[in-house]
Amino acid sequence: MKTRHLIDRTSRNLIFVLALASFAVLVAIAVFTLKEALPALQQVGLLDFLFGTEWRPTSGQFGILPMILGTVMVAIGAVIFAVPLGVGCAILLAEVAPPRIRQFLRPAVELLVGIPSVVYGLVGLVLVVPLIREIGGPGLSLAAGVVVLTAMILPTIISISEDSIRAVPRKYKEGALALGATEWQMMWRVVLPAARPGIGASIVLGIGRAVGEAMALVMVVGMATAIPISPLDPARPLAPSIALETNYATGLHRSALFAIAVVLFVLIIIINSLAMMIMRRGARAHGVR
């Protein structure tokens, strides 16, 4: 008993130390990024930096409003398409598909998770961009970025949502069917509300990847420093801007890129917080904790 108690206590202490180390690394990254961004924020001004519409480092103009709007638009567009498709595919894999189809689809979804983002960008550049150009747009556009990001975050939403649906106790399903509910009513009224926390977590992770993606978007969105008015217009999200200019940036330009990183960090925190708040309110409305 003493040995088991010692092992349990050691394990708890080790997990606590590892958690503190992870938090410390996160804080160190945030502090370093903010420290490097301060010269640009002080010289340009926070309001001019956030709401300025001109990004011309050679002329000393550092306005990132088009980048912020481009990031929000492409992320929201990808989530709008990916969430219904991902949750629907998760329901198919968890409850509807026959075992043979499930054995084929599940490894395919897991394979998509591990594909590098640059491959998604290359496929989008070869397939999606020409299709959009035939519609009438320039090809490299916000719509191309939405399509590519949708394909990128789908595997994450599908995998986590499927695991969450499978984790719902069988007695919930049997109880609903015993009360006369159809399979669709059982799925919509019982299984999905019970699996809401896991599905919400998958959506949050998908949003995080959509907002922070860089390389794939560099290849398909056009990287124009203008506010996109139409889905067919080019855009320039925050993360691709950092990836595109960080190799040659110096001085105030380099500090401005770190300031973009701070804005991106804050934006991800805000989006994740809003998503978690909506998820908790929905869970309370359905009586799920």
User: pLDDT tens across 12-61, in order?
Assistant: 889 999 999 999 998 999 899 999 999 998 998 888 898 988 888 888 88
CATH domain 67-251+262-285 topology: MetI-like fold (1.10.3720)
Average pLDDT over residues 249-277: 85
User: pLDDT tens across 166-216, in order?
Assistant: 888 888 888 888 888 888 888 888 888 888 888 888 888 888 888 888 888
- Whose tokens are 């719902």? That residue is 168
The total of other beta-carbon atoms located within 10 Å of residue 102's CB is: 15
pLDDT for 287: 53
Global pTM reads 0.83
Nearest-10 Cα torsion for 68, 72, 74, 78: 160
pLDDT for 289: 47
pLDDT for 282: 57
What backbone torsions phi and psi does residue 62 show, to the nearest 5 degrees? -130, 75
Contact 241, 213 (CB under 8 A): no
Contact 199, 192 (CB under 8 A): yes
Whether residue 284 has pLDDT greater than 80: no
Whether residue 125 has pLDDT greater than 80: yes
